[in-house]
Amino acid sequence: MRFGKALAGLALGLLLSGGARAETPGERVAGQAVVNYRIFGDVHEPWPERRHTFTGGVTGLADITYSTIAGYRPMKLDLYLPPPGGAPRPLIIYIHGGGWMGGGPRLSAAFANWPEVLASIAAEGFVVASVAYRFAGEEPFPAAIHDVKTAIRFLRAHAHRWGIDRERVGLWGASSGGQLAALAGTSCGVEALAPPVVAPRMNANVEQPISPPAGLLQQSDCAQAVAAWYGIFDFATLRRPPAGTANHREHPYLNCGTATCTEDRLNAPSPAHYADRADPPFLLIHGDADRTVPVAQSQEFHQRLRAAGVPVELVILPGIDHSFIGASHDATRDTSRAMLARTLDFFATTIGAGRAAR
């Protein structure tokens, strides 16, 4: 108890005077070992980077906090960096699925080791980020899209630190992550979906969110390419779900409760509602046996994008269910691998190394 009082008094003295009191010969001041640590000025999360080396010289940085909003858990992302050297690299941001209620940045469909997959993509010359976002049970729409757009801006604000080319950013998501990737891609600059401003930390009197990086608000939330796997793109036209699954109109993500969702409430999170000729190129992949999200969602969104003059590819997979699940283990494996390769080819063509920035 006496040590705690002494240390508290020392900390107060540091805050007021900026240094420790003089020590007389032979005297040992309690807490002397900590007097040289900084008190003010740190704006990043005070924890050493968690690094992991993957095959191909890829460096993984785990649990980087990209946003702290009072009242919520810190939002984190994992980053996969290609071997150093050369010009800034294109950035791919992956947004996980899970029905806006679960999942995480290290999970995707039937892939057993998703971090290893993302690291293999980074080995091809991309910087890859996999982001978390707030679930519908924590906060309904538009919280998740706010988080995604904040992550885009955060990564652009740190472009120099991680060797990112700000002008070449691709978004990629599966299921609910496909909806969020497509929404971010079509709603570039839409004020109604812009993330809220997080005030910088002004003092250290109480626990406060970590300050956002300098220049965050000046960064764009636009993307130069979007790949979406089996996503929902228009809530207003979504057909009645199969027996045993929740009606989308009662889903916590939309926050309509048991009442009928208004047209505005259905349009606001729908990527199709924002589609116009300024949108980046899209790749849409969907199985025609999907029992979770009807394949019509991708087919109709494809038509909407084409009508708007947006470059778009649509891949329909015969006999394939949600998450690329096939009728056999081999069908699931082969489809998953093939669509991963197709997606990587899409990004290599649109934002990849050696291509002019759009």
Give yes or no: residues 31 and 50 share one domain: no
Rounded to an integer, what distance in angstroms lies between the CA atom of residue 285 and that of residue 340? 10
Please tell me whether residues 244 and 101 are part of one structural domain: yes
pLDDT given at position 1: 43
Share of the chain above pLDDT 90, in %: 69
Distance CA 150, CA 152 (A): 5
Q: Do 35 and 182 share a structural domain?
A: no
In a domain, 124, yes or no: yes
Q: Are residues 309 and 195 in the same domain?
A: yes
More confident: 261 or 347: 347
pLDDT tens per residue, range 20-49: 444 455 555 555 555 555 554 444 556 677
The model's pLDDT over 274-305, given as tens digits with 9 standing for 90+, comes to 999 999 999 999 999 999 999 999 999 999 99
Residue 355 lies in a domain: no
Strand order in the sheet with 127-131: 50-54, 58-67, 75-81, 127-131, 89-95, 164-174, 225-229, 282-287, 312-317
Res. 91 pLDDT band, cuts 50 70 90: very high
* CATH number of the domain to which 259 belongs: 3.40.50.1820
* 250 occurs within a structural domain: yes
Are both 198 and 311 inside the same structural domain?
yes
Whether 197 is covered by a domain: the verdict is yes
- Are 6 and 111 found together in one domain? no
User: Are both 5 and 106 inside the same structural domain?
Assistant: no
For residues 134 and 55, membership in a common domain is answered with: yes
Q: Is residue 356 part of a domain?
A: no
Q: Are residues 219 and 194 in the same domain?
A: yes
Structural domain total, the chain:
2
Q: Do 229 and 254 belong together in one domain?
A: yes
Q: Do 6 and 66 have their domain in common?
A: no
* Residue range of the domain that includes 245: 45-350
Contact 230, 175 (CB under 8 A): yes
Mean pLDDT of 130-147: 97
